[in-house]
């Protein structure tokens, strides 16, 4: 354990710079997408929608509009509020159809060409495309396409879909989409537009979310319902798994081109990604998180003076935990919401402030107390280590760490860019080893069955048809992983070991 600890510390130090510049994010966020058809303020409404989806990706944003003939594109690194609130940018985005995207991309100059929505001129006209999710065979397809002379402009998996659409010999844009999508595997919630139609699609398992709304005469597509709320649009329904909708000035048409299979939406939307005020799968994300806390209290409560959330992601679960265990809920950690990326300087002196830029202990409350710290998840454990230490420095007598999700043992390939398996704290450590690493007095995670119970599945996780995509906790990947397996064969990447099925 000691050597593990040292290795971990060394890694934490070298990661410090990256962590600070990425606003303390442990694993990369996925993306958010938005689209609107038939509104004179399409660009402005899309900027607002993206603002509501900012939590899904903070590194870059883009909007592509079309005025019935010409397309207009603006893509920027950075936050929506810093780029898309300017009239000079919005006024260039003419037309009443718009598609927008927020993403977490890699930094550096290669990033700009990957900023979405992508756009391509096809033989039928222009096409914009925004993608939330990740394909698991994009690299394999790309290599095949490159052999026959295809030239790729970006390094995103999304561009593969554009190439496949361009190659399709089908007559209509929708049929071209469908033909292309039959060739790809993995997770995709797509919003695209041609010069006169808006298209939305979810992959056959519905791994990533996509909802449909209505604002007056206009239809809206978005990753989450909170993006409908911000523009005053009504939530109509979710796009179903394997469904494609085509929206034109004549209305909306729904297609189910894939052989029907049972949906398996990503369980991590409930745990961390989605905003608590969104509805996912018809459920309030906030209520689900409170339920995780309630179940956790039932499973592993310990007597303490107070329950303290790690803000903001731990807040709803901590409220549920406090309520179920009748323990006072207190704000023992205060989060600074103004820590911007621009503030953070790469100097050693500032780097060493570490987590304190974002979180600070409410020392007068904590001093001499037995506390339960509650967070939504542990990924690398780097934040958790620092937070526990901060609580001790503030005088906490006992620190009991409770996690409102099961241990994350497996990496994701569907749009959450989790660290390699060997960087996931729970992939190679027992609960006791993790407790020791965090220097907590006790550590407990929500069980898989508790997680499913909290989501309204009293019988737990059905072995034959799990109701969610939950590989992060189980290793049960719902699709083939050609790119991972191909790479494994090519480079013998040892960290990508085969999936296992540890829990039912």
274 contact choice in Mg ion, ligand 5GP, none (CB below 5 to 8 Å, kind-dependent): none
- Among residues 71 and 468, whose Cβ is nearest to ligand 5GP? 468
- Among residues 182 and 353, whose Cβ is nearest to ligand 5GP? 353
193 contact choice in Mg ion, ligand 5GP, none (CB below 5 to 8 Å, kind-dependent): none
- Among residues 220 and 378, whose Cβ is nearest to Mg ion? 378
Contact by Cβ (8 Å): 470, 205: no
Least distance between ligand 5GP and beta carbon 23 (Å): 7
List residues binding ligand 5GP (CB under 6 A): 25-27, 29, 272, 310, 313, 375-384, 416
Least distance between ligand 5GP and beta carbon 272 (Å): 5
Q: How far apart (Å, rounded) are the C-alpha atoms in residues 130 and 427?
A: 32
- Among residues 95 and 314, whose Cβ is nearest to ligand 5GP? 314
Least distance between Mg ion and beta carbon 452 (Å): 22
25 contact choice in Mg ion, ligand 5GP, none (CB below 5 to 8 Å, kind-dependent): ligand 5GP
List residues binding Mg ion (CB under 5 A): 313
Burial of 4 from C-beta contacts in 10 A (0-12 / 13-18 / 19+): middle
Q: How far apart (Å, rounded) are the C-alpha atoms in residues 90 and 65?
A: 10
Residue 495: name the closest of 429, 426, 410, 431 by CA: 410
Least distance between ligand 5GP and beta carbon 16 (Å): 12
- Among residues 359 and 484, whose Cβ is nearest to ligand 5GP? 359
379 contact choice in Mg ion, ligand 5GP, none (CB below 5 to 8 Å, kind-dependent): ligand 5GP
Q: How many CB atoms lie within 10 A of CB 169?
A: 7
**Catalytic-residue membership of 288:** no
Residue corresponding to tokens 């023992």: 332
29 contact choice in ligand 5GP, Mg ion, none (CB below 5 to 8 Å, kind-dependent): ligand 5GP
Which among 31, 226, 266, 472 is annotated as catalytic? 31
- Characterize 460-498 residue by residue with b for buried, 16 or more Cβ atoms within 10 angstroms of its Cβ, and e for exposed: bbeeeebbbbbbbbbbbbbbebbbbeeebeeeeeeebee
CA angle 498/502/504 to nearest 5° reads 125
Least distance between ligand 5GP and beta carbon 119 (Å): 28
Tokens coding 248:
């034109």
Contact by Cβ (8 Å): 325, 479: no
- Among residues 313 and 382, whose Cβ is nearest to Mg ion? 313
Least distance between ligand 5GP and beta carbon 379 (Å): 4
Contact by Cβ (8 Å): 478, 263: no
List phi, psi (to 5°) of 191. -130, 125
Residue 239: name the closest of 259, 269, 265 by CA: 265
Q: Which residue number is nearest to ligand 5GP in terms of Cβ?
A: 25
381 contact choice in ligand 5GP, Mg ion, none (CB below 5 to 8 Å, kind-dependent): ligand 5GP
Q: How far apart (Å, rounded) are the C-alpha atoms in residues 144 and 132?
A: 23
Q: Hey, is 412 helix, strand or coil?
A: coil
- Catalytic sites, residue numbers: 31
């Amino acid at each position: 354990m000691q050597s593990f600890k040292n290795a971990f510390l060394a890694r934490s130090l070298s990661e410090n710079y990256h962590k600070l510049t990425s606003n303390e994010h442990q694993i990369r966020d996925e993306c958010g997408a938005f689209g609107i058809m038939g509104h004179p303020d399409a660009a402005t409404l899309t900027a607002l929608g993206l603002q509501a989806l900012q939590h899904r990706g903070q590194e870059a944003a883009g909007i592509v509009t079309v005025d019935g003939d010409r397309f207009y594109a603006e893509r920027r690194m950075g936050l929506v509020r810093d780029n898309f609130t300017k009239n000079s940018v919005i006024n260039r985005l003419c037309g009443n159809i718009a598609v927008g995207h927020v993403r977490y991309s890699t930094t550096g100059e290669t990033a700009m060409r990957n900023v979405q929505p992508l756009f391509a001129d096809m033989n039928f006209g222009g096409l914009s495309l925004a993608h939330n999710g990740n394909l698991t065979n994009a690299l394999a397809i790309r290599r095949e396409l490159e052999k026959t002379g295809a030239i790729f402009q970006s390094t995103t998996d999304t561009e593969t879909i554009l190439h496949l659409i361009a190659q399709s010999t089908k007559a209509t844009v929708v049929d071209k989409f469908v033909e292309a999508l039959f060739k790809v595997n993995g997770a995709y919630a797509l919003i695209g537009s041609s010069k006169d139609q808006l298209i939305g699609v979810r992959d056959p398992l519905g791994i990533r979310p996509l909802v449909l709304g209505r604002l007056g005469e206009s239809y809206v597509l978005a990753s989450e319902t909170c993006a409908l709320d911000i523009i005053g649009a009504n939530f109509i329904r979710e796009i179903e798994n394997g469904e494609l909708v085509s929206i034109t000035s004549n209305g909306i048409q729904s297609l189910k081109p894939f052989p029907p299979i049972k949906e398996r939406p990503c369980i991590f939307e409930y745990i961390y990604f989605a905003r608590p005020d969104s509805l996912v799968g018809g459920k309030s994300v906030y209520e689900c998180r409170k339920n995780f806390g309630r179940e956790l209290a039932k499973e592993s409560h310990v007597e303490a003076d107070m329950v303290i959330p790690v803000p903001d992601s731990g807040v709803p679960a901590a409220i549920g935990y406090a309520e179920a265990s009748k323990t006072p809920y207190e704000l023992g950690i205060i989060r600074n919401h103004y820590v911007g990326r621009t503030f953070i300087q790469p100097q050693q002196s500032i780097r060493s402030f570490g987590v304190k830029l974002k979180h600070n202990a409410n020392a007068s409350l904590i001093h001499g107390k037995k506390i339960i710290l509650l967070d939504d998840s542990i990924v690398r454990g780097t934040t958790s280590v620092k937070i526990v230490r901060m609580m001790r420095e503030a005088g906490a007598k006992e620190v009991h760490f409770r996690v409102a999700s099961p241990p994350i043992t497996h990496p994701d390939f569907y749009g959450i860019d989790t660290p390699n398996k060997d960087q996931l704290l729970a992939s190679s450590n027992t609960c006791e080893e993790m407790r020791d690493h965090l220097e907590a007095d006790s550590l407990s995670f929500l069980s898989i069955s508790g997680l499913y119970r909290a989501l309204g599945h009293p019988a737990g996780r059905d072995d034959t048809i799990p109701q969610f995509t939950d590989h992060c906790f189980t290793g049960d990947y719902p699709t083939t992983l050609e790119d991972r397996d191909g790479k494994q064969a090519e480079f013998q990447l040892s960290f990508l070991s085969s999936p296992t099925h540890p829990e039912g």
